[in-house]
Structure formats: structure tokens, C-alpha cells
Structure 1
Amino acid sequence: MLGWELLASRLKARFIKVQSPLDDCVKANGTGADALFARIKNPYFLRDEPGLTQTLGWVDAWTSRASSYAVAAESAEDVAAAIAFLLADTSRWMSGSTMAVDGGLLT
């Protein structure tokens, strides 16, 4: 049993394996996949140029400043509470989100 399936069976929760829907195409590395990517018109897709990019709508998104939503994780119980929330049914609609339990160290 794989890690995700094992965890889901033990915790009786729903899990989604987070991955790009294009992973299979990128890994295929064939003429069909290359033709598909040639037709995609995404000005922010940098296949061969990894690194930081800034897209429209995210001006100053990387400006370092303290988050107004930061809550300090002062103990293992704080981290456990965040994990318990993510494993609970109430977090089932969270997807594509980052939840850093670092006491506001990284914002």
C-alpha cells in the first residue's frame, strides 16, 4: 500500500494527491506531448528557464512584510492543531493553498 493510501486508510479521511494535470504530458517527452505544448499559449510558462517569475496581478507579491494573519506556533500542540484541522472534514474544500505553521517566520 502506498503512502497516501496507507495514511487515508488509517485516518479515515479523504486525501488528494497534489500534482500537475500536465505531469504525464511533460514526462511523456514525445512528439505528441511536444505538439501539445507548442499549441499552449501561456506567456508565463517557462519550460527551460526555471526561476522566479512575476505575473500580472501579483505585483509586489514577493515584497517581504509581516503577515497580518500570522499566528505564532509556540508549541507542538499548535502544530498538531493545524494538522488536525487539515485532517478534519471541515478542511475538505481547501485545495491549492499553503498553510505554513511557522509562527510567521515565512510570509
Structure 2
Amino acid sequence: MKQAFSVLQEITGIPAPRFQVPYALALFAAHIDETKSRFTRKPPKAPLAGVRMAQYKMFFNPAKAIRELGLPQTPPRQALADAVQWFRHHGYVKK
């Protein structure tokens, strides 16, 4: 994640996070955010499911999709740049 945030900082100019939040604190904040969202009817900024998933390192092997479906592989930097462009186009990123 640190590498991805570093690349995103280069692409967007938005500073990357400077420190890692301990899992217990993130989980506690997610519980509060989920509770708050029930009253405000706005989606939580830190969904509980997302925080729970973030505690695990996840790796995926695209070999089968490449082999059987001919899935094209985009370099990570280009994939992130494309995603940033999409988010900007749809108004999710202001810079």
C-alpha cells in the first residue's frame, strides 16, 4: 500500500498518508462511522467491512485469466493513472 500511495501522490499531487493507523483504532473508528451513517443516511467514510479486510495481505495471481481469457495486463502506474482520471472525471477528486 505504501508504494501505491507513493505513486498516487506523484500522479495526483495529493500527499500520501504519513503514518499507519493501528488496526484496533481503525476498527473502533469504523464502528463509530457506521453508527453515525445510520443516522445521517450517508455512506460511511470508513466502512467496517473495508477495515476488516484491510488487516489481511491479499495477493492475486492473474495467470489463469491471462491464459484462458487473454486478459491484458496494464502496468500498475498506468492503471492507477487511469483510475485517477476516471475519479477526476466523475468529480470524486478535486485536484
For normalisation by structure 2, the TM-score amounts to 0.26
- Structure exhibiting the larger radius of gyration computed from Cα positions: 1
- Of Structure 1 and Structure 2, the greater helix share is in 2
